[in-house]
Amino acid sequence: MSAMSTARSVASTLITVAPTGAETAKSDVPALPTTPEELVETAVACERAGAALIHIHVRDREHQPTLEPAFLKEAVDGVREATDLVVQLSTGGAVTDPLDKRLTVLDADPDSCSLTCGTTNFGDGVFLNPWGFMVDLYRQAQEREVVPEFELFELGHVHALRRLIDECGLPYGGKVHVDFVTGVPGAMPGTPQALLAGVAMLPPEVTSWSATGIGRAHLPIVAAALSAGGHLRVGMEDNLMYARGRPVEHNRELVARAADLATVMQRPPMSTTEAREALAIKDRRTR
């Protein structure tokens, strides 16, 4: 599957759910899954609704974002025991997390990890991803046989991915999956034009791409990605509104709608088995 595949040549759709993120407060959005029980319940419901991969940010017992190893391990183990989802841990954390702490995430033994390909504006903050950090994280993922998902918030990140592959080679398993995160205030806009410009720049080593649109960019980016042969990331990390005036009540709703749209587009949701194959995920399953 080349990165520039059309919708017609991509038979199914990888649906990733990003249920929590690091930015929204539980007190503002009680429906946000922040406890281990809520995370596992969400994972089970979203797998049933059509998700094949889960992108996880962990919260502590006070519902605050954390990168503490025990919480990360608890989340990975809990989701792995209850589902067949590909388990991806965020290495982005929150903008306040130090780089050295973010490098310890792989100790929790996820199937996959996010790897953002450069520094970017992130609302009022800056999301730091200097070159040395990217290389260290990438080499660690290769050594531990963890498949990275390259997060692209900017068109310059696409070029940085080219540099990373040139310097460090291919990921474990040989597949290169990227995710365009569009519509972050101050970064690449959540428009089909920006998304397609990024897709046109992808290196030939890229075997699959997905996209997400933050906030109101959510649905336009779902439609654009499905039309252009891309896969989908949805979830409350990126979008808290189901429709105008109607908040998301459960991540499952966003996955179910994405699955319906993908099915209408003749590209039904990928099973977890297909996703594991498409991304060349090492089998760490415990059940």
Binding site for Zn ion (CB under 5 A): 90
| 151 touches, from Zn ion, ligand KMH, none (C-beta below 5 to 8 Å by class) | ligand KMH
Q: Is the four-CA dihedral 46, 48, 52, 53 of positive or negative sign?
A: positive
What are the distances in angstroms from CA 152 to CA 74, 100, 182, 187, 225? 28, 21, 8, 10, 14
Stretch that binds ligand KMH, among 87-95, 104-112, 158-166, 208-216 (CB under 6 A): 87-95
Residue 102 Cβ, how far from ligand KMH at the closest point, in Å?
9
Answer for the pair 32, 26: CB distance below 8 angstroms, yes or no.
Answer: yes
Q: Check residue 22 for interaction with ligand KMH (CB under 6 A).
A: yes
**Contacted by 253, from ligand KMH, Zn ion, none: CB < 5 to 8 Å by type:** none
Span 189-218, contacts to ligand KMH by CB under 6 A: none
Smallest distance from ligand KMH to CB 184, Å: 8
- Distance between CA atoms of residues 46 and 68, nearest Å: 25
Of the pair 18, 226, the CB lying nearest ligand KMH is at: 18
Q: Which of 130, 22, 5, 129 is nearest to 72 (CA)?
A: 22
Single out the segment in contact with ligand KMH by CB under 6 A; choices: 72-80, 88-96, 207-215, 277-285.
88-96
Q: How far is CA 178 from CA 97, 233, 286, in A?
A: 23, 11, 27
For Zn ion, the closer of residues 12 and 90 by Cβ is 90
Residues 94 to 153: which contact ligand KMH by CB under 6 A?
94-95, 114, 116, 122, 127, 151
Return the SS3 of 111.
coil
We find the least distance from the C-beta atom of residue 168 to Zn ion, in angstroms, to be 22
| 179 touches ligand KMH (CB under 6 A) | no
What's the start-to-end Cα distance of the chain, in Å?
30
Q: How far apart are CA 141 and CA 150, in angstroms?
A: 12
Instruction: State which H helix or E strand residue 232 sits in.
Output: strand 231-234
Binding partner at 95 among Zn ion, ligand KMH, none, C-beta below 5 to 8 Å by kind = ligand KMH
Packed helices 69-82 and 36-49: angle between N→C axes, nearest 10 degrees: 40
**If contact means CB under 5 to 8 A according to the sort of partner, which of Zn ion, ligand KMH, none does residue 119 touch?**
none
Local structure of 8: helix, strand or coil: helix
Q: Which stretch binds ligand KMH (CB under 6 A): 84-92, 166-174, 191-199, 256-264?
A: 84-92
Q: How far apart are CA 254 and CA 218, in angstroms?
A: 10
Cβ atoms 117, 134 nearer than 8 A = yes
Q: Which does 42 bind (CB under 5 to 8 A by kind): ligand KMH, Zn ion, none?
A: none
Q: With CB under 6 A as the rule, give the number of residues binding ligand KMH.
A: 12
Residues of this chain that bind ligand KMH (CB under 6 A): 21-22, 90-92, 94-95, 114, 116, 122, 127, 151
